[in-house]
Structure 1
Amino acid sequence: MSILSNFSLFVALSLLLSILLAVIVITPWLRRRNSVEIDNQLLDINVDVYQARIRELNADKAAATISDSYYQAQKTELERQLLAAKQVTTAMQPPSLVSRLMLMLWIPVLAGSAYMIISDRSNVFTLWQEQQIVGQVADDLLTGKIDEPPEWAMKEGLALFSAMQTNVHHNAHDPQRWLKLAEMFLSFGATESGLEALSRAYRLSPDDEDIAMMYAQTSFFALGGSLDDNIRRTLQGVLDSSPNKEEAQMMMAMGEARAGNYEQAQAWIGKMRRSFEQRAGDYSHEISGLDSLATDIANQQAQADDSVDVTVTITPSLLPLIVAEDVLFVAIRAATGGAPYAAKRVPISDLEQDRITVSLSNADMMMPDRTLQSAQALGEQLVVTARISRSGSANTQSGDLTTNPIVLETEQHSIRMQINQQVP
């Protein structure tokens, strides 16, 4: 039977089923109610009320509290009310012929519309085809049976990629599959997706040191060599089980130095140095590298000790003009103008309670030979400026929020300033 005949048969059966359902729905409307149903429940209640009221009237008449004429009038009125008391339920008014035809028409129309909306399953069919072609190759890659796909599978790159993702989600309890998927993402430069896959692998197997280290290293370099709470927690877990894990110790040292915790960074370097010294063999190259790193960190600390902490506040009347995407520029420059000696760009989202503190040092200098100390030694007057830019440009533009320059005195390491005006 051809595809066209199969489709025609399907459409015919669908229409027949829709019409049958329409008839079933409106069948109660087609029934004619020839009899009148009487509900005697209300009548029984009225009889009980009538009898109770008659007993009250008889008691009042026997006690001579009412006259004979009043008794007779009340009794006659109760009898009249009882005779009139009956409840009749009328049959439901059947809808018009037009209403019936509209309902019979709309049910197939709505059913057909729903089918047309959800009938496109081309993506599903494509996925099934990909699974049939490269599904086994994807499984072999994810389970480590092969290290790289065969040449013919490489030509089906997108299909293989899709099959691997589907395979991992079908085996979501397997951390090794998530690890392999992360490696594939990272090899294509998809760092965010790779981190997500690594985090799943780490949650499934937190005691696997290899997974933990790969997760920590990828997160560490994705953050530009910074440590966040998650990375610290992961590295600490590795060091708890392997106290002399050099890769974890090095990341802790570099991260602490970047965060300005120089003493902790030097402590990690000292621990690694002692570990190498206690080992048998020649580790002079490694020890020399650690000494060089310790010197660099000491220089960073010396520069930080000469830093200037600038606390910037914003006048309340300008707060409504600030949006989350704005950028704060803080700079130290010569009072006569020119390029700044040191500058820092920070997101305005770091603002807390209408204030933010920015530390400027020689580490933030624009040119190596123009340090803050050299400028002050030459007697040059330095000023501190702060500006909020919506465009993110380093050059002042109309609409920016700024403050008046404040003179930085020699040996002054902290300064407070307020942004209180808008550039016209």
Structure 2
Amino acid sequence: MIITKFWFFIGCILISVLMALVIMVPWFKRSRSNGDNQLMSINVKNFKARLVELEQDVDDGLINHNQYHHQKTELERQLLQAAKVDKLKIQANQTSKIVLLILIPLLSIGLYLFINNSNKNLFDLWQAQNKYHQIADDLLTNKISSPPAGSVNNNEDMQALVAVMQTNVYQNAYDGERWLKLAELFSAMGATDSSALAMARAYQVEPNNIEVASQYAQALFFSNGGRLTPQIRAIINDILQKEAQNQTAQMMLIIGETSEANYNEALKWANKLKQQIKNQPMSAVNKLNALNSIDALIKEIKYKQQTSINP
């Protein structure tokens, strides 16, 4: 990782220098042509025009030869002085450009270091994206059930994979299944608050998805101690309207009504589920086990009902 960062840093410097050269070299060329040639040509032109005027004054008898030579010498001095001033201006201009040529890479380096210090995990996330992007996507879309062997070797790798999965979910923010998978991941990691938030987001984006709604209702149900709140009832009723024989929804009603001492309502749902299991095609062993479980649940509800009547 250190070597990779080093070459990335060197690449940033080289690109900055290249950009500075591309911008500055034409500027230097324009400075020489526009500064040296144009300014000097104007001064020389003025000098020649003034010299012609002096020669004309001599011919017209307005000045004598001594005055002519004196004023000519003064013009030559002024021309030399102007040339020196122009040269100093050009040198100052070039110096400022050289300073700018140096500052561009330095500012780029400073900006890189500032960003790197402000977002120290950004580069690690890029590397994790490059390594785990496809694995994360396959996990979130049920193409695989676990990371390939050797892809996650330590806790650092696991954290990197989780970060990439989160990024993937955010990039597909309207895919309820991905939010659901992320919620399951958080739940497995013991991050209950994050799991609840991800589950809520899954239901928000896909309220008509029965699997999403069922798992969200379960999460709310068990976080509420197995009791039915108005929100949970509304979600369960919506599930049963879409899928009348949804066993997850029915079991939550049985447990919830029992915990609220609504035994008749609990028995109604339990007997309905028992009849549904009898009619459901499955192996004889599985059906027998399921019926024994529901019979034991019905027996327990009746016992609690009887105890509440005759304590």
TM-score range, shorter chain: 0.5 to 0.7
* Residues 143, 177 of structure 1: 8 Å contact kept: yes
Match of 1:292 among 271, 276, 296: 296
Matched, 1:202 2:206: no
Work out the CA distance in 2 between the residues paired with 1:176 and 1:164.
13
Residue of structure 2 equivalent to 1:221: 222
1:117 is displaced (CA, Å) by 8.2
The aligned amino acid for 1:209 is I
TM-score, normalising length from structure 2?
Answer: 0.56
Residue of structure 2 equivalent to 1:162: 163
The aligned amino acid for 1:301 is Q
1:161 is displaced (CA, Å) by 0.8
Q: Residue 153 of structure 1 aligns to a residue in which SS?
A: coil
Residue of structure 2 equivalent to 1:56: none
Residue of structure 2 equivalent to 1:146: 144
**1:120 and 1:300, CA in 2 relative to 1: closer, same or farther beyond 3 A?**
same
Residue deviations 1:215-259 (CA, integer Å, cap 9, x gap):
222332333322222221221111111212222212101111012
Matched, 1:257 2:261: no
Aligned residues: 204
Q: Residue 255 of structure 1 aligns to a residue in which SS?
A: helix
Residue of structure 2 equivalent to 1:267: 268
Match of 1:136 among 134, 158, 168: 134
Work out the CA distance in 2 between the residues paired with 1:254 and 1:6.
66
1:174 is displaced (CA, Å) by 1.2
**1:122 and 1:261, CA in 2 relative to 1: closer, same or farther beyond 3 A?**
same
Residue of structure 1 equivalent to 2:89: none
1:280 is displaced (CA, Å) by 6.9
**1:143 and 1:247, CA in 2 relative to 1: closer, same or farther beyond 3 A?**
closer
Residue deviations 1:318-372 (CA, integer Å, cap 9, x gap):
xxxxxxxxxxxxxxxxxxxxxxxxxxxxxxxxxxxxxxxxxxxxxxxxxxxxxxx
Matched, 1:181 2:182: yes
1:278 is displaced (CA, Å) by 4.8
Stretch deviating more after TM superposition (118-127 or 264-273):
118-127
Residue of structure 2 equivalent to 1:302: 306
The aligned amino acid for 1:297 is I
Gaps of 5+ in 1: 14-114, 307-372, 374-424
Q: Which has the higher helix share?
A: 2
1:273 is displaced (CA, Å) by 2.8
Report 1:8-407 matches (<5 A): 120-155=118-153, 156-278=157-279, 283-305=287-309
Residue deviations 1:9-61 (CA, integer Å, cap 9, x gap):
99xx9xxxxxxxxxxxxxxxxxxxxxxxxxxxxxxxxxxxxxxxxxxxxxxxx
Gaps of 5+ in 2: 1-6, 21-110
**1:286 and 1:137, CA in 2 relative to 1: closer, same or farther beyond 3 A?**
closer
* Residues 191, 222 of structure 1: 8 Å contact kept: no
Q: Residue 178 of structure 2 aligns to a residue in which SS?
A: helix
Q: Residue 164 of structure 1 aligns to a residue in which SS?
A: helix
Work out the CA distance in 1 between the residues paired with 2:301 and 2:245.
21
- Aligned CA RMSD, in angstroms, stands at 3.4
Residue deviations 1:358-412 (CA, integer Å, cap 9, x gap):
xxxxxxxxxxxxxxx7xxxxxxxxxxxxxxxxxxxxxxxxxxxxxxxxxxxxxxx
TM-score, normalising length from structure 1?
Answer: 0.42
Q: Which has the higher strand share?
A: 1
* Residues 201, 211 of structure 1: 8 Å contact kept: yes
**1:274 and 1:133, CA in 2 relative to 1: closer, same or farther beyond 3 A?**
closer
Q: Which runs of 4+ in 1 moved over 6 A?
A: 115-118
* Residues 179, 197 of structure 1: 8 Å contact kept: yes
Work out the CA distance in 1 between the residues paired with 2:254 and 2:299.
13
Work out the CA distance in 2 between the residues paired with 1:151 and 1:279.
38
Residue deviations 1:92-149 (CA, integer Å, cap 9, x gap):
xxxxxxxxxxxxxxxxxxxxxxx89875221222222222222232223223333322
* Residues 246, 272 of structure 1: 8 Å contact kept: yes
Work out the CA distance in 2 between the residues paired with 1:127 and 1:142.
18
**1:302 and 1:132, CA in 2 relative to 1: closer, same or farther beyond 3 A?**
same
**1:288 and 1:130, CA in 2 relative to 1: closer, same or farther beyond 3 A?**
closer
Q: Residue 121 of structure 2 aligns to a residue in which SS?
A: helix
**1:162 and 1:290, CA in 2 relative to 1: closer, same or farther beyond 3 A?**
same
1:192 is displaced (CA, Å) by 2.6
Q: Residue 142 of structure 2 aligns to a residue in which SS?
A: coil
Work out the CA distance in 2 between the residues paired with 1:291 and 1:197.
36
Work out the CA distance in 2 between the residues paired with 1:6 and 1:278.
73
* Residues 238, 248 of structure 1: 8 Å contact kept: yes
